[in-house]
A and B are shown apart, each in its own frame.
Chain A
Amino acid sequence: MMPDERVPLLEVEHLKMTFTSGKGAKKVVVNAINDNSFSIYEGETFGLVGESGCGKTTTGRAIIRLYDPTSGTMRFMGRDISGPMTKELRHFLTDNIAMIFQDPIDSLNPRMTVEEIVAEGLKYHGVNDPAERREIVLDMLAKVGLTKEHASRYPHEFSGGQRQRVGIARALVVKPKLIIADEPVSALDVSIQAQVINLLNDLKKELGLTIMFIAHDLSVVKYFSTRVAVMYYGKIVEMAPSDELYRHPLHPYTRALLSAVPQPNPRLEKQRKRLTYDPAKDHIETGEEREMREILPEHFVYCNSAELEEYKKLI
């Protein structure tokens, strides 16, 4: 798809999320999201990577308004979703955006059967006829590779991979426009991870989903995403089409992150040189403000103009 033909589904501008805890001298302020702007286009998979605590989950939660952003605007399907919360806005959000969580065990109600769990969202969507609901649910379960027989079971009677399928079915059954998948495979064993990744990939093609894919595993993000944003301490420092980002990582943090990913290749691993990132040393200070600058089409780096010139030499 050409960049200009794309339709933005979600537009985020100058999003900030600050958490404050403690009082007086013990007051701690965390800038979990520190002035980020990005768009997610219809039909794409937007990957968000970064290390523990950099603000990935907070970004997802701010979009579905589990948090009230400190400042910034968010538009979804052209509509402002960052204003005061109303019943109507809550409906609009739950109708259109669904989240898949990292831990399939914690996110499923242990006292409900799989059928009830998946059907729950449909009730809120006005599918009131039980027979119709059941049909939709069974159809959805079949799509994620679960059978009728599974429908009457409880979450604890499933393996981790199967539970994650239930979570995916629950998210997809209401036909959301955007899926936010927050580390959907991190808690799973390798052999099960592949099942879930393949399933998400198939569903993505079959249903034309738009996905925001959050993960810390760069190999998985690269495999899955159209574009990728790299986050460091609340700030998106680089954003580019997936292949481009891995071909030309420019920000020193992205470069360090990429060099640290262990690759399943013993000869390469044993001689690999790793880069480290030191925010105090790896930048050029000129007094000029840093901002997201487009260095190649669609490839943005957070830098000042002196750094931009340096990065250009790396391409």
Chain B
Amino acid sequence: MDNDLILSVNDLSVSFKTINGMVRAVRGVSFDLRRGETVAIVGESGSGKSVTIKAVMGILAGNAVIDGGSIMYGGRDLLKASEKDYQDIRGSRIGLIFQDPLSALNPIMKIGKQITEALKLTDPKMSKADARKKAVALMESVGITDADRRFDQYPFQFSGGMRQRVVIAIALARDPEILICDEPTTALDVTVQARILDLINEIKKERKLSVIFITHDMGVVANVADRINVMYAGRIVEKGTADEIFFEPAHPYTQALLAAMPDLETSERLMSIPGTPPNMIYPPKGDAFAERNAHALEIDFEEEPPYFKISDTHYAATWALHPKAPRREMPEVLRNRIARIKEEA
């Protein structure tokens, strides 16, 4: 039906065995990725963002247990793929960029060689001269100036932002179909971050890449995302297009996330979220956010809310959307902010 659909995660659940018990890190996550679009996953530390994409890449830690679900890619379920198939997929079809560019680079191998090795992985017959030419072109395309000279330098001679560009160049050398970025700019300065985001957006357009972008910064999300999944305590609590999530947030956690940080125009008191996220060894029975939500209903502590449909693209798992639930307005701080940013745009 949907020809552009290239990756589909369905009801994925992942736990970790620990001495204190099973950590229920991901609990029934589903999302789709289409050709040429960027899907963002946002949520606070420990909500299960990295575990979700590690499951897609087949690089979960040894103590992980897949409790269920499927990850459909190229007509097969990745959760059932052999390690050999996976190596193939990781090597060329799906590229990954981590938060810390240093850990992704070999400290004692010249930058250029790290890129040509990646190129040869996809085309083993490529000549040395050709590989060098291609690598330099790739370095230039990710904004590394003086690429011919820098080809022979080592990672320590590059700044943080430059290293992240190298990591992106290596990922692109394999000509992937999907690029997964796990907080690729969190460790960088804002001006460097801005350039990396522009770069990822450009490449995506040029190559019709599909991107999964993980972050906890709502400003970054606004910049990159076509669609957004908001995660809390191992579940996607709300999903929608960027406009839907920013202008019509329905889940109390999404609302809190948007109203918790000042933007350049904020002068009113921030909306703070009381308490802390739950311990995922004992996930709460009902809505995991209920204990931090001043307006939680009785049912929130009893039963996990299903997804309620708001539009064809917008869903939220909150009892507040139940037809019989008392109607509650969005917090005033947030209503004012949304009205203001709609005007700015």
Contact = CB atoms under 8 A, between A and B. Distances in A.
A260 B194 contact: yes
B345 A193 contact: no
Interface stretch (A115-123, A164-172, A217-225): A217-225
B225, B246, B263, B267 — which one has the most chain A CB atoms within 10 A of its CB? B263
A265 interface: yes
Contacts of B106: none
Contacts of B345: 265, 267-268
A224 B235 CA distance: 34
A264 B45 contact: no
Nearest to B268: A223
B194 A262 contact: yes
Given A194-B273, A268-B345, A274-B198, A219 B189 contact: no
A219, A265, A277 — which one has the most chain B CB atoms within 10 A of its CB? A265
Nearest to B342: A267
A313 B281 CA distance: 61
A197 interface: yes
A272 to B, nearest CB: 8
B85 interface: no
Contacts of B222: 262-266, 268-270
B106 to A, nearest CB: 24
Interface stretch (A105-113, A184-192, A289-297): A184-192
Given A265-B246, A269-B219, A216 B190 contact: yes
Interface stretch (B114-122, B252-260, B301-309): B252-260
A223 B266 contact: yes
A218 B262 CA distance: 10
A146 to B, nearest CB: 13
A219 B263 contact: yes
Contact of B266 (A198, A219, A257): A219
Contact of A261 (B190, B216, B218): B190
B266 to A, nearest CB: 5
A191 B257 contact: yes
B190 A264 contact: no
A260 B45 CA distance: 24
Contact of A219 (B264, B274, B277): B264
Interface string A67-88: 0000000000000000000000
B272 interface: yes
A275 to B, nearest CB: 9
Contacts of B219: 261-264, 269
Contacts of A161: 276
A195 B273 contact: yes
B217 A262 contact: yes
A147 interface: no
Contacts of A220: 261-262
A201 B267 CA distance: 12
Contacts of B292: 191
Contact of A257 (B190, B217, B274): B190
Given A159-B276, A264-B246, A269 B223 contact: yes
A38 interface: no
Contacts of A261: 190, 219, 264
A66 to B, nearest CB: 24
Contacts of A264: 218-219, 221-222, 246, 258, 261, 263, 341
Contacts of B258: 264
A51 B190 contact: yes
B270 A218 contact: no
A271 to B, nearest CB: 8
A283 to B, nearest CB: 17
Which secondary structure dominates chain A's binding surface?
A: helix
Contacts of A218: 190, 264
A256 interface: yes
Given A191-B257, A262-B222, A264-B219, A223 B193 contact: no
Contact of A191 (B220, B242, B260, B263): B260
A216 B188 CA distance: 11
Contact of A270 (B44, B223, B257): B223
B128 interface: no
Contacts of B195: 274, 276
A51 B264 contact: no
B271 interface: yes
B274 A195 contact: yes
B193 to A, nearest CB: 7
A219 B246 contact: no
Contacts of A223: 262, 266-267, 270
A52 interface: yes
A264 B274 CA distance: 22
A265 B246 CA distance: 7
Contacts of A257: 190-191
A264 B220 CA distance: 7
Given A264-B258, A266-B225, A269-B219, A191 B189 contact: no
B243 interface: yes
A288 to B, nearest CB: 28
Contacts of A198: 269-270, 272
B220 A197 contact: no
A311 interface: no
Nearest to A243: B267
A246 interface: yes
A194 B191 contact: no
B146 interface: no
Contacts of B191: 51, 256-257, 260, 276-277
Given A195-B272, A216-B190, A268-B344, A246 B44 contact: no
15 contacts: A51-B189, A191-B273, A192-B273, A194-B273, A201-B269, A218-B264, A219-B263, A246-B264, A262-B193, A264-B258, A266-B222, A266-B225, A268-B222, A268-B344, A276-B195
Given A162-B276, A191-B44, A263-B222, 8 more contacts: A191-B257, A191-B273, A192-B276, A264-B258, A266-B221, A267-B341, A268-B341, A274-B194
Give 4 closest A-B pairs by Cβ, nearest first: A262-B219, A267-B345, A223-B262, A191-B273
